[in-house]
Amino acid sequence: MMGCTFFVKYLDINQKNHYLCANFFKKCPTPMKEITINGLTFEPYISSEEIAKQVERVAAQVKRDCVTESPIFVCVLKGAFMFAADLYRAIDMPGSEIAFIRYKSYSGTESTGQMNKILGLNDDVAGREVIIIEDIVDTGLTAQALRSDIEAMNPMSVKMATLLFKPASLKHGKVPEYVGFEIPPKFIIGYGLDLDEKVRGLKEIYVLKKED
């Protein structure tokens, strides 16, 4: 396959010939390979290019629906940190704020059914438009707890933007207002999502491979 970096001949304003080593930011997809972590094998599922496309789409929807110029975005740590960083930059509203909260309900590859509130929200959200940023909504337990805790703080409104949503697993609360990808009830990792705190830094998303 042809490399991404190549030489381009062009004329500048003085009509002199120059050779420029240019990288046209052509998409050079890094080949995604299977990875094994903690004895489990994961296969490629969503590329970084597809993620970036959906982040842009969700950002445009969120921005379009905002009724005030100073919404507060609440990033749910740890899993949503990467999505929140990309989404928040794409939304690009100078009057907005970002805050952080940490709830935990997962251990290994399954929900424990219990909610651990590790870091609460200290920011004043009363009377404000709140948009919760989640990595993934699975059973909906975390999303429901987050919404009801924030609603108790008298905001103007509460909505949720999640990168991933497993509709078939939803048992609690409502469908998120903004969804990047709807996926089947499979365990995934990467782009912020972990397996026992590991692999959050992967640029792409991987799915747990079924045993043959």
Q: Which residues are identified as catalytic?
A: 138
Among residues 79 and 155, whose Cβ is nearest to Mg ion?
79
Per DSSP (E only), the strands in the chain are 5-11, 17-23, 35-37, 40-46, 72-77, 97-107, 110-119, 129-137, 157-165, 178-182, 188-189, 205-208
Question: Contact letters (x/-) for ligand IMP, 86-125, by CB under 6 A?
Answer: -------------------xx----x--------------
Q: Beta strand pairing status for 110-119 and 97-107?
A: antiparallel
Nearer to Mg ion, 58 or 76 (CB): 76
Select 47 or 169, whichever has its Cβ closest to ligand IMP.
169
Helix (H, G, I), strand (E, B) or coil at 203: coil
Q: Per rule CB under 6 A, is residue 187 in the interface with ligand IMP?
A: yes
Matching residue, tokens 């496309």: 53
Number of residues lying near ligand IMP (CB under 6 A): 18
What is the smallest separation between the CB atom of 183 and Mg ion, expressed in angstroms? 14
Tell me which amino acid residue 81 is.
Answer: F
Out of 79, 155, 176, 190, name the contact with ligand IMP by CB under 6 A.
79
Residues in 128-157 that interact with ligand IMP by CB under 6 A:
134-143
Cα angle 67-166-53, degrees, rounded to a multiple of 5:
55
Minimal distance in Å, beta carbon 68 to ligand IMP? 26
52 neighbors 82 (Cβ within 8 angstroms)? no
How buried is 37 (Cβ within 10 angstroms: 0-12 exposed, 13-18 middle, 19+ buried)?
middle
For residue 63, the minimal CB distance to ligand IMP (Å) is 23
By CB under 6 A, tell whether 188 contacts ligand IMP: yes
Shortest distance (Å) from residue 124 CB to ligand IMP: 24
Give the interface with ligand IMP as residue ranges (CB under 6 A). 79, 105-106, 111, 134-143, 187-189, 193
